[in-house]
Amino acid sequence: MKKAKLNFEEFVDNSQKSQIIEDSTELAEEFLKTAEKIEKLQEKQTAIESQLIERVRSEYEANGKKGSFCKTYNVKGATKKGVQITFSDKFKSLPSELKKTLSKAGKNVAQYFDTKRDIVLSKTDPETVSELLDILGADNFNKYFKVKVATITKKGFDKAQFNLPKEIRSMVKQYKPSVKKW
């Protein structure tokens, strides 16, 4: 095997030096072409996946509305086994302001949601932590904590969502379904 000829050229980013190897250009070119093909195939796969999800989503919605809830669907392939699509039972949090809207929609709607609070310490130095341990109380709570409130769905919402009015369902965003070979 022929020894690589090295050419040192200053690399502008971070004032580092990088080595340029000139006798493997064909291999580098092949790598780059392959990477480009893979990128195009991934784009194509993502587009097809989106189409599959939308097609199956209509079945998922129709089944849910008529009480035949199912979250996993197998789409049969023509020559291979097929593709499996599983709808998530996880949903994105809603802004806390929507809790009032949900409550106004009636008990049937409000029963599917909870309130979640994320509390983040705004100061984390040892003195603050020590002080918190000494004085933790209602008067000082807001001095040390920022409270983030969100409305979240309860367990079983994935199945129950189909009983809710369309305007409520449109507020709740379900995580993307998984798609895999079946």
More confident residue, 123 or 52: 52
In tens, the pLDDT along 9-20 reads: 444 444 556 778
- 6 forms bridges with which residues in the sheet? 21
Q: In the prediction, which pLDDT does 144 show?
A: 73
Q: In the prediction, which pLDDT does 8 show?
A: 44
Domains of the chain: which residue ranges? 94-174
- 138, pLDDT greater than 70: no
> Rounded to an integer, what distance in angstroms lies between the CA atom of residue 64 and that of residue 162?
5
Q: Two tokens at 34?
A: 């392959």
In tens, the pLDDT along 38-83 reads: 999 999 999 999 999 999 999 999 999 999 999 999 999 998 899 9
- 5, pLDDT greater than 70: no
Residue in 80, 75, 78 with CA at minimum distance from that of residue 51: 75
Contact present, 48 and 85 (Cβ < 8 Å)? no
Q: In the prediction, which pLDDT does 7 show?
A: 47
Collapse the DSSP code of 8 into the 3-class scheme (helix H, G, I; strand E, B; otherwise coil) and give the result. strand
The answer for 48, left when phi > 0, alpha when psi is -120 to 50, beta otherwise, is alpha
Which stretches of 30-71 are assigned E, i.e. beta strand?
A: none
Q: In the prediction, which pLDDT does 4 show?
A: 53
The pTM of the full predicted model, rounded to 2 decimals, is 0.63
Residue in 156, 129, 153, 176 with CA at minimum distance from that of residue 69: 156
> Rounded to an integer, what distance in angstroms lies between the CA atom of residue 99 and that of residue 58?
28
